[in-house]
A and B are shown apart, each in its own frame.
Chain A
Amino acid sequence: DAKTTQPPSMDCAEGRAANLPCNHSTISGNEYVYWYRQIHSQGPQYIIHGLKNNETNEMASLIITEDRKSSTLILPHATLRDTAVYYCIVLPIGSARQLTFGSGTQLTVLP
């Protein structure tokens, strides 16, 4: 799915904030931004989603630019267990679930 663009890899020091960018310049007004992550050989894990306002939950914060063309997932205090592939996807409101992941960003948290 070519709707989002992410860097292929990033490193982050343990205990520091990890900021993962995502470009979704063709996003429509009725599409949400979702983030999932997948630790090696495990099923994907939902992290957070948002429409246009910034969102925060116990796992992460999602910052969406005012024009909605890009967003940043922030893991405030990365741990080694946050090492995973992070996927940013856009999904229209009211549609049945048919997720498609791109190649994502491999985040490696370094000790």
Chain B
Amino acid sequence: KAGVTQTPRYLIKTRGQQVTLSCSPISGHRSVSWYQQTPGQGLQFLFEYFSETQRNKGNFPGRFSGRQFSNSRSEMNVSTLELGDSALYLCASSLSGQGTDTQYFGPGTRLTVL
């Protein structure tokens, strides 16, 4: 079974631009979560989607948004990029996101904002 895939793997943008990242979960997984990872802040939860609905949201500004499609694929968007948005963005999928469902992570998208 294929793992979680994320595209693109690397991205360079400038301040003020916007960016869209894509995540394809493991087949059959319906929950997709997004995380931001930086050396200073560690791993931080952005949001979780299940059945095309945002089920949980972390403490990030409204510039960070996401959506999930009927095939469970998900995208996240960051508008008006800031230098501090430079990070590894990780997507993780699980069957339902409940109970002891294990989350499986993708390789991440490395975003650099100049």
Contacts and interface: CB of A to CB of B under 8 A. Distances in A.
Contacts of B56: 96, 98
By size class, the interface of chain A is 20 to 34
Given A98-B48, A101-B43, A44 B98 contact: no
Looking at chain A's contact residues, the main secondary structure is loop
Interface residues of B, number: 29
B23 to A, nearest CB: 11
A71 to B, nearest CB: 16
Nearest to B90: A43
A106 to B, nearest CB: 13
A100 B103 CA distance: 12
A93 interface: yes
A94 interface: yes
Contacts, number: 63
B45 interface: yes
Interface in A33-86: 41-46, 49
A96 B97 CA distance: 5
A43 B107 CA distance: 4
B110 A41 contact: yes
B91 to A, nearest CB: 8
Interface of B: 4, 31, 33, 35, 42-45, 48, 55-56, 58, 88, 90, 92, 94, 97-108, 110
Interface of A: 32, 41-46, 49, 91, 93-103
